[in-house]
Amino acid sequence: MYSTNLWHKLHLYRYQIIFVLAFFLPLSTVLAQAGPKINLPYVDQKKIHYGFFVSTGLSGFKQTYSQAYFDRIGFDPNNNPVDLDGVLSIQTERQLSLGVGFIGNLKLAEALDVRVTPKAGFYTYRLTYQFSDSVSIGPPGNGDFRAEQDNIENVRFEMPILLKLKSQRRGNIRAYFIGGINPSVEVTGRREKEIAFEMAGFDLALEWGFGFDLYYPLFRFSPEIRFSHGLMNMKGTNANRPIAVAVDRLTTNSVTLYFNFQ
């Protein structure tokens, strides 16, 4: 029984475990290098650096219920009443995301850089609606409750503007903190079906994280974990299904692992 429960937990947190291993494995290889040789000893003296990155992460929505959800009744855009008495919950589930982009880095001071990282991001957002069997606005089902999902595939162009605060270099490793803003716009999106409401096109997020610059003989590799908190309401104005009135705000939320090469 314990073994089965353990494997179930490993399956639930498999992405988090993979992210942690992928982040710390390169760090361990640099720390394990023998000898005092310093790789790329003058690279940090350059004013401008360029590079590229690939990223993967977990992204989702953070939802805020509307007052209509708590009142159990609302009105659609045509001012028709919508009975929400049978709406049990609206849940979000983080999905895997991918990204690729370029790095432009300007050295401001010995311990401070400003960085611009244009990125193409590929996201899937999932919303799950649970209804009691008596409610009329949900899909047909059996038993005490039924559910349906909206999967929103989204390709976004992002332009993070970040400040990078660096520690003192020790051997072939340097730690850093990074933070800033990330404006983004939807380039294209695909829907499996008509969803409850369309996403807004523009988003602005606060981002922060940390990483390590690892100095190899031919390049600098920087694994980085970054957290993103959306500020804009991504719930669009077009409501396609009555359930949309139960949601007031949707904001993006993600944790992303970056592999930076310079």
SS3 per-residue string spanning 150-169: EEEEEEEEECCEEEEEECCC
The tokens for 196 are 């409850």
Q: Of the given ranges (58-67, 162-171, 249-258), which has the lowest mean pLDDT?
A: 58-67
Q: Of the given ranges (59-73, 74-88, 109-123, 163-177), which has the lowest mean pLDDT?
A: 74-88
With cut-offs at 50, 70 and 90, classify the pLDDT of residue 195. confident
Tell me the mean pLDDT in the region 65-69: 82
Residue type, 2: Y
Query: Helix, strand or coil for residue 69?
Result: helix
Tell me the mean pLDDT in the region 189-193: 61
pLDDT value of position 41: 87
Tell me the mean pLDDT in the region 135-141: 52
Where do the domains of the chain lie?
Answer: 45-261
Cβ contact 135:86 at 8 Å: yes
With cut-offs at 50, 70 and 90, classify the pLDDT of residue 8. very low
Residue type, 196: A
Position 105 pLDDT exceeds 80: yes
Could you tell me which CATH class the domain 45-261 is placed in?
A: mainly beta
Position 72 pLDDT exceeds 50: yes
- Residue 164, C-beta contacts closer than 8 angstroms, at least 6 positions apart: 105, 112, 113, 114, 115, 176, 177, 178
pLDDT value of position 202: 93
The vertex-21 CA angle with 16 and 26, nearest 5°, equals: 140
Q: Of the given ranges (48-52, 144-148, 246-250), which has the lowest mean pLDDT?
A: 144-148
pLDDT value of position 60: 92
DSSP state of 170: B
The residue that leads in pLDDT, 130 or 96, is: 96
Tell me the mean pLDDT in the region 156-170: 95
